[in-house]
Amino acid sequence: MAHNSKSAAEGEPTLTTRLPRRPSAADGVVIIDKPAGWTSHDVVSKMRGIAATRKVGHAGTLDPMATGVLVVGIGKATRLLNYIVGADKDYEATIRLGYATTTEDAEGEVTDIAAPRHLERVEFEAAAAQLTGDLMQVPSSVSAIKVDGKRAYDRVRAGEDVQLAARPVRVKKFDIIDYRTQLTDVGEVIDVDVRVSVSSGTYVRALGRDFAHFLDTHGHLTRLRRTRVGGYGLDQARSLEQLASELESSETISVLPLAQAAAATFAVRSISATEANDLGCGKRLRPSVQGSGSTEQPVTMAAIDPAGELIALLQDNGVRAQPTVVFAPRQ
């Protein structure tokens, strides 16, 4: 009986032969410059392919219209994301004065129209000052906040009238950069370029809405770019195209290692090998010198061992340092 003289053992691929799998990216953080038109979920889906792993997440949603810093965690770094979400953020935005939209940005339908009167820079700065500091802000009705188990934006799209409760936020900076008058299909408008620094949970769309109200008109955002999340800025960001190009010359992409990623946003506590072992067992540590004495707000600290490895995130309230996430449990 005739047979193939070259067997699979001699190197001939068969139908059941599996091609070598591209290695997954290392545990760490990648800062993405999110393009317009993409959802944050779209970026995560793309990154799963680029990083060759399904263990990918992001810290803080950006609307499809928005661009800029999206912090993506890979592997063990996904456990950092819940804490990075709470970091302060910087944005650049353009507020269009003259009419409101259903979404409080350029993607919504026009609702209320009120042609703005002639305004001077001093008036813009006065309105910005009213929106600086500790505020009670009513979030945008098309936010991701859940109302009776359903996202607010889903209720709005279903035709419901959604009214959200005001919540405390902090606006550290609200600077007027430039402004100009333009003629649009809706009428004459004023576009105001601003730069803001805000606490987590602050809605820049709502800031634009309230800024317009202080100027006796209606407004919405036509541009939103996030320039910083915690210690991660645009200078560290890469586009999806750049990451895909990196794969052409390497088997995987480079990432910001866990220890560096944590140190960029959290206070660092250098720990001994003994303390690292204690944390690996889930034990508490004594408070750091800086945290001596009880504090109302615990400080999140990155515990890094003598080898430069991230062992855990700690909540230090000045009485004890409690591990909340352990990255290197004792073997």
* Pair (48, 72) in one structural domain: yes
* Pair (97, 187) in one structural domain: yes
Separation between Cα atoms, residue 195 and residue 219, nearest integer Å? 16
- Using pLDDT thresholds of 50, 70 and 90, give the confidence band for residue 145: confident
Phi, psi of 148 (to 5 degrees): 50, 45
**Mean pLDDT calculated for residue range 8-14:** 46
User: How would you class 85 by CB atoms within 10 Å of its CB: exposed for 0-12, middle for 13-18, buried for 19 or more?
Assistant: middle
Is 63 an active-site residue?
A: yes
* Pair (105, 139) in one structural domain: yes
* Pair (181, 97) in one structural domain: yes
Residue 2 in any domain: the answer is no
Separation between Cα atoms, residue 41 and residue 45, nearest integer Å? 6
Percentage of the residues of the chain whose pLDDT score is greater than 90 = 70
Domain count, the chain: 3
- Using pLDDT thresholds of 50, 70 and 90, give the confidence band for residue 5: very low
* Pair (103, 213) in one structural domain: yes
* Pair (163, 101) in one structural domain: yes
Nearest to 157 by CA among 166, 147, 167: 147
> What is the structure's pLDDT at 325?
93
* Pair (124, 158) in one structural domain: yes
Residue 261 in any domain: the answer is no
Q: What is the pLDDT of residues 60-116, one digit of tens each?
A: 889 889 999 999 999 999 999 999 999 999 999 999 999 999 889 998 889 999 989
The yes-or-no verdict on residue 165 having pLDDT over 90 is no
* Pair (48, 106) in one structural domain: no
Single-letter residue type at 18: R
* Active-site pick, 63, 90, 105, 191: 63
Residue 282 in any domain: the answer is yes
The yes-or-no verdict on residue 186 having pLDDT over 90 is no
**Mean pLDDT calculated for residue range 286-315:** 82
Higher pLDDT, 241 or 164: 241
Residue 110 in any domain: the answer is yes
The yes-or-no verdict on residue 164 having pLDDT over 90 is no
> What is the structure's pLDDT at 253?
95
The yes-or-no verdict on residue 4 having pLDDT over 50 is no
Q: Are 292 and 325 in contact (CB under 8 A)?
A: no
* Pair (105, 209) in one structural domain: yes
Neighbouring C-alpha atoms within 13 Å toward the C-beta of 203 = 25
Higher pLDDT, 259 or 296: 259
**Prediction pTM value:** 0.87
> What is the structure's pLDDT at 151?
73
**Mean pLDDT calculated for residue range 227-235:** 97
Residue 295 in any domain: the answer is yes
Place of tokens 């909540």: 315
> Domain holding 37: CATH number?
3.30.2350.10
Residue 274 in any domain: the answer is yes
Residue 202 in any domain: the answer is yes
| Most trustworthy range by pLDDT among 25-29, 59-63, 107-111, 248-252 | 25-29
Q: Are 197 and 151 in contact (CB under 8 A)?
A: no
* Pair (271, 322) in one structural domain: yes
* Pair (64, 107) in one structural domain: no
- Using pLDDT thresholds of 50, 70 and 90, give the confidence band for residue 326: very high
> What is the structure's pLDDT at 258?
96
* Pair (210, 282) in one structural domain: no
Separation between Cα atoms, residue 228 and residue 91, nearest integer Å? 7
Average model confidence (pLDDT) across the chain: 88
Residue 134 in any domain: the answer is yes
> What is the structure's pLDDT at 282?
85
Domain range for residue 246? 28-87+232-256
Which ranges of the chain does DSSP label H, i.e. alpha helix?
40-51, 81-84, 121-130, 152-157, 204-214, 240-249, 258-265, 273-280
> Domain holding 273: CATH number?
2.30.130.10
